[in-house]
Each structure stands twice: as C-alpha cells, then as structure tokens.
Amino acid sequence: NFQTGGGDVKACPSCLSFLRNPRMLHCLHFFCLECLKKIEASDGRVSCPVCQFVTDPGQDGVDNFQTDESVCRIIEVINGTPGRCDNCLSSPASSFCETCDAALCAPCSEELHGFRSSAKKPHSILPVTKGERLRRVPRCPSHPGEKLLFLSVTSQQLICRDCILVGEHEHDRYVTVEEAGRQTKKDLLELITKSKGTLRMLEEQLETHERQIPEAAEAYQQSVRRLNERAEELTASLKEQQHQALAEGASVRDAKVSRLLKQGVEIGGVAAALEDCVDLHRTALASASDFEVLRLHGAMLGLVAAAARVRVDLTPCDDALITEAEVFAPPTPASSRA
C-alpha cells in the first residue's frame, strides 16, 4: 500500500493522504477511519474501494475495525515523524539533547537549558528537522542510565551491559543491537522477496480469472444459441408432423363420409321398396272384392310377410367411423401409401 515520494506516504487509497487512525478491512487493505465512515453503507457494511470486497464490521460499525498499531509505527518511521517531547509528553520534539539524552520541544528546551545554563559543560543540542527521525538509544528500565545496546537471543529482549554482568540475563546468549538489526533486516528482505513472488503468482491468477470471465460468458451464449437452434428444429418438426396428421385425418374423413353416403343411399332404396309394397297392398285391399282378396290371398300374404321381415340397421358400420387413433396416427411414409 505504501507509495513513497519526497518523504510523503500516500497510503490511504480513498483520500490519497497519510493514513490517519488506520483501520484494516477483512481484505487486508488499510484506510483512514474517517474515510471508512464516508463510504460506510446504510447497513453498516463497507465495500473496499480497491477490491470491492464487502466487510461487515458488526453492530459497532467502522469503529469496530481493527487498529493496526504496527502499521501506525511503520507510517511514523517512513514519514520521519519526530517523537514527542520527553518533558511535556504532548508537543512534537524539535530538538534532541545528547547530554540529557532527551527529545524536547522548543519551549521545554528553552526552559530546561535556560535553567541549566550555569552548568560547566554545555549541552549538545541537535535540531530535529522535518522528516528526520530521532535515533535515540533507549535506556534500560532495570538499570537506569544504561543504554539497551544488546539483544538477548535467549529471551528476545533488549538488555544493557549491567543485565549481562549482574542482572537476570547474565547466562543468556546475546548479540549487539547492530548485529541483530542487520540480521533482522536480512530476514525481512528475504521475506519480502518471497512475498513478492507470492504477489506475482496472485497477479497471474487474477489475470487468468479475468480472462476466464468473458470466456465463461461466451460459453454461456454459445449454449443459449445451440438451445435455441434445437428448439427451432423441434418446433419445425412438430409443425410438420401436425401438417401431415391433419392431411391424413382429412383423407380418412373423406373416405368415411363417402362410405356413409353410399350406405344412406342403400337404406333409402330399401325404404322406398318397402313403402311401394305397403302402398300396393293397401290399394289392392281397398278396391278388390272378397272373392279377389281370397284368390290373391296367398300371393299378397307372401309379399307382406317378406316386407315385414326386412330389418335395416341405421347405425353406421364401424369402419365408417373416424377415430382419434386414425387422425393422430404417425404419418404414413409415401412408399407405404403407394
């Protein structure tokens, strides 16, 4: 996140200024607390302006985000922010007294050194300019006046000369702060190098994912096109089957209607013949004498009996009915119909 230029650090991706009261999102990006409050959604969640990862801080809102003290210290080192005054503990230090081993603001330096101006040995006062860091060696809390010049490898604590000679660390294995600093810098540089390799790998994976997004979209569009083409083919096939089924049904209808008409003609002929026979006998009975009736009795009785025995089935025959199976039967191939 850190971009240095002219001694300034533009670390906050939102305001492009120094990180003030930095807060870390779940995506590991840092922002000023005030910047996070500006981009906080109504439901309290925050969408990272860098990667769009959404972080839910919980009920307490952005104030609940983690404060990374190590980041604060790193920013202070990079920016060269001077320490606080050792006397008033509030104002930034503007000078460093090597004699007093103290960082002082201008008012405190004037007050203290004015009071000590009668001392035989003058104090060595160095100005602290903007961007310059105080390289003061801290004092041992167990042995006041002794500087912490060593690092105990055993306990990983800064120790002084007296800690080694007469203190609780006299049996520890130790190295000088300079040696420990060089080794620590070396270890950190190796870790940074490995991290850069991991970063390059992640960037390559990100590029791969970015390429796969349009590829996936194109694959989806191709699937949609194939599905539409198949649907159109099925629709056309169903329409063709419908057309053939209707044509077959019409052919069956015409054949059966013709058969029904022929049957109707036959029934009409039988009815007409029966009606003629009945009329003939009625007329003969009306005009014939008793002698003639007796003489024609045998012939007339035979005709009437024959007419009475005529039975006509007015129900159409089965093969004259149009069934659903015939109408919706699969189309008959042309070769079969031929």
Identify the band that residue 234 occupies on the pLDDT scale cut at 50, 70 and 90: very high
When the candidates are 1.10.1660, 4.10.640, 3.20.20, 3.30.70, the CATH number that belongs to 82-136 is: 4.10.640
Residue keyed to tokens 């606080």: 84
Query: Beta partners for 175?
Result: 151
Each domain of the chain, given as residue ranges in start order, spans 1-79, 82-136, 195-337
For all residues of the chain together, what is the average pLDDT?
Answer: 77
Q: pTM of the predicted model, to two decimals? A: 0.42
Note the pLDDT of residue 94: 84
157: left (phi over 0), alpha (psi -120 to 50) or beta: beta
Closest CA to 31 of 39, 22, 43: 22
Same CATH topology for 1-79 and 82-136: the answer is: no
Spatial distance between the Cα atoms of 285 and 250, rounded to a whole number of angstroms: 53
Note the pLDDT of residue 3: 37
**What proportion of the chain, given as a percentage, has pLDDT over 90?**
16
Which secondary structure element, helix H or strand E, spans residue 284, and what is its range?
Answer: helix 177-287
For the cut 70, the answer to whether the pLDDT of residue 303 exceeds it is no
Identify the residue with better confidence: 92 or 307.
92
163-172, long-range: CB < 8 A, 24+ apart: 167/142, 167/143, 168/142
Note the pLDDT of residue 226: 94
Which CATH class for the 1-79 domain?
Answer: alpha beta
Query: How many CB atoms within 10 Å of residue 35?
Result: 23
Identify the residue with better confidence: 60 or 252.
252
User: What is the per-residue pLDDT across 41-93, written as a single tens digit (0 to 9) for each?
Assistant: 777 788 888 888 888 877 667 777 766 666 666 666 655 555 678 788 778 88
Note the pLDDT of residue 262: 84
Note the pLDDT of residue 286: 80
Which of 268-282, 289-303, 317-331 is least confident? 317-331
Note the pLDDT of residue 334: 45
- Cβ neighbourhood burial of 22 (10 Å; 0-12, 13-18, 19+): buried
